[in-house]
Structure 1
Amino acid sequence: MTDAQVVLSCRSLRRDFGGFTAVNNVDLDVRHAQIHALIGPNGAGKTTVFNLLTKFLQPTSGTVTLLGEDITKTDPARVARMGLVRSFQISAVFPHLSVLDNVRVALQRPGGLATQFWRPLTSLNALNAKAAELLESVGLGGDLATVAADLSYGRKRVLEIATTLALEPKVLLLDEPMAGMGQEDVTVIADLIREVARSRAVLMVEHNLSVVADLCHEVTVLQRGEILAAGDYATVSRDPQVRVAYMGTEHD
């Protein structure tokens, strides 16, 4: 087990919807500069856990801690300002803006321009160099003027990750970043996530088990809202309960 700093954790996390318990007694530790996968069959509670961690949902019971601070009752906007940033399974870029403008929009918050509505539009030009540098770092340096809608699906996902990085996250939550991608795009996104995790924690929901095996330091397996197994990929993939519940005979 690593001794890297825990930056996001939850204890005894539970969420009930009426008489249905979607998440029950979940403990999770996400560590700095590591990639942690949350996996499990459909309906296992992965998205609900994401929503609880990012405060889109309040837990029925349990606690959530970010950077040593209890955020169980904290509103989502403040949690994001503290450095917990989430991407969604559906691409969330502005399709009719250029690639550069998408990142400039995201940079307004850390740059202090998001609330300075009286400033002229040209004030955003101060963000051009930083936006271009960020886009170069993720491989989109040649697409600054491209309209986001004209990007391939995989490059849209790269742009989405770039916009989340513009918010200067300390912990990045990625919801199925490889969904719907061909192998070439999967390789690009995997390399990007590996690079991103050099300086921040990454928690990702992902169904592509070869990606999980290749990328992730820690894996937590959910089934029916509860933790079925946790550890590195080699450990959880050998667990008989995990193999029956999720991984199937192709991973024998």
Structure 2
Amino acid sequence: MAHSTNTASDYALEARGLSKAFGAFNAVKDVDLKVKRGSIHALIGPNGAGKTTCFNLLTKTLTPTAGQVIFEDRDITRLRTAQVARLGLVRSFQISATFPHLTCLENVRVALQSGFDKSFRFWSSLAAIRPLDARAMELLDQVGLADRAQAKATELSYGKKRALEIATTLALDPKVMLLDEPTAGMGHEDIEPITDLIRKVSEGRTTLIVEHNLSVVSSLCERITVLQHGEVLVEGTYDDVSSNEDVIKAYMGGVDAH
């Protein structure tokens, strides 16, 4: 029977009263966040707002001082990073996390191996891992890198490296992808292709991104949560957020201060 009201199962990922203190410093304070299943949701804010700390709490890189993380209606607050990754909550890092001297194909195959209990066994016979090549090529094709399969990651342009990183993230078959600054450091010519790629690979998945480029956020994201000083300042659509006086003040202050 269909229900018109939202239930917990409408949300793939939630933070409930999430807090993190480092000594006397409260990096994240009582954050509530609901990421709707199948949506692209942005977490934004000026420098020092607590975005990366919040990401680290959601992906279990950090343990919260207080609060809960709920993934697919399950409390994962006490689980470890590897455990939540196996459940389907996968993070792509701001600094490219690929192996620079492996080829694109080998990078994606390493990621695929982790899903087949062959994780990082570089000494496995080629025959044992060869069946993964077809899937690796599919993923490379999906991110526009099929023609660079035999190129080493270090030979790629910055934008192509980010595409490769997205392919390795997809190799883990995420239900929820967390993308940390996917367009950081990119030239203008790379931003649009990566934005289009994120839109494409997010189909059928839930995506949460931290992103400074507000034009990227406006074109991709259905909901936006703004953090300031570790707390939620406002949440809404891009139009709601971009016209909010507190957000304008926070961003102007953040730009001037840094």
Whether TM-score is above 0.5 comes out as yes
- RMSD over aligned Cα atoms: 1.8
Distance in 2, Cα, partners of 1:184 & 1:31: 31
Aligned-partner residue type, residue 223 of structure 2: E
1:126 partnered with 2:105: no
State the match for 2:104 in structure 1. 99
- Report the CA distance shift for 1:102/1:244 in structure 2 as closer, same or farther (over 3 A): same
1:50-89, aligned counterparts within 5 Å? 50-89=55-94
- 1:112 maps onto 2:117 in alignment: yes
Aligned with 2:19 (options 14, 23, 26): 14
1:197-243, Cα deviation, whole Å (9 max, x unpaired):
11111111100001101110110000000011101110011111001
Choose the corresponding residue for 1:23, options 6, 22, 28.
28
Count residues in correspondence: 248
Aligned pairs for 1:85-234 within 5 A: 85-114=90-119, 119-234=124-239
Alignment of 1:38 onto 2:43: yes
Question: Over residues 8-65 of structure 1, what are the superposed CA-to-partner deviations in whole Å (9 max), with x where a residue is unaligned?
Answer: 0011111111111110110001122211110001100000000100111111111110
Counterpart of 1:86, as a letter, is R
Residue 184 of structure 1, CA deviation: 1.9
CA distance 1:116–1:147, change in 2 (3 Å): closer
Matched residue, 1:245:
250
Question: How far is the alpha carbon of 1:5 from its aligned partner?
Answer: 2.3
Uncovered stretches (5+) of structure 1, i.e. residues with no partner: none
Q: Which runs of 4+ in 1 moved over 6 A?
A: 115-118
TM-score (norm 1): 0.94
Q: Distance in 2 between matches of 1:26 and 1:75?
A: 20
**How far apart are the structure 1 equivalents of 2:211 and 2:151?**
29
- Structure 1 residue 121 displacement after superposition: 3.1
Aligned to 2:256: none
Tell me if structure 1 keeps the 8 A contact 2:110–2:120.
no
How far is 1:122 from its partner?
Answer: 2.7
**Distance change >3 Å, CA 45–CA 115, structure 1 → 2:** closer
Gaps of 5+ in 2: 254-258
Contact 1:237 1:247 (8 Å CA) reproduced: no
**Using the alignment, how far apart are the partners of 2:197 and 2:211 within structure 1?**
15
Q: How many percent of aligned residue pairs carry the same amino acid? A: 58
Does the aligned pair in 2 maintain the 1:100–1:145 contact within 8 Å?
yes
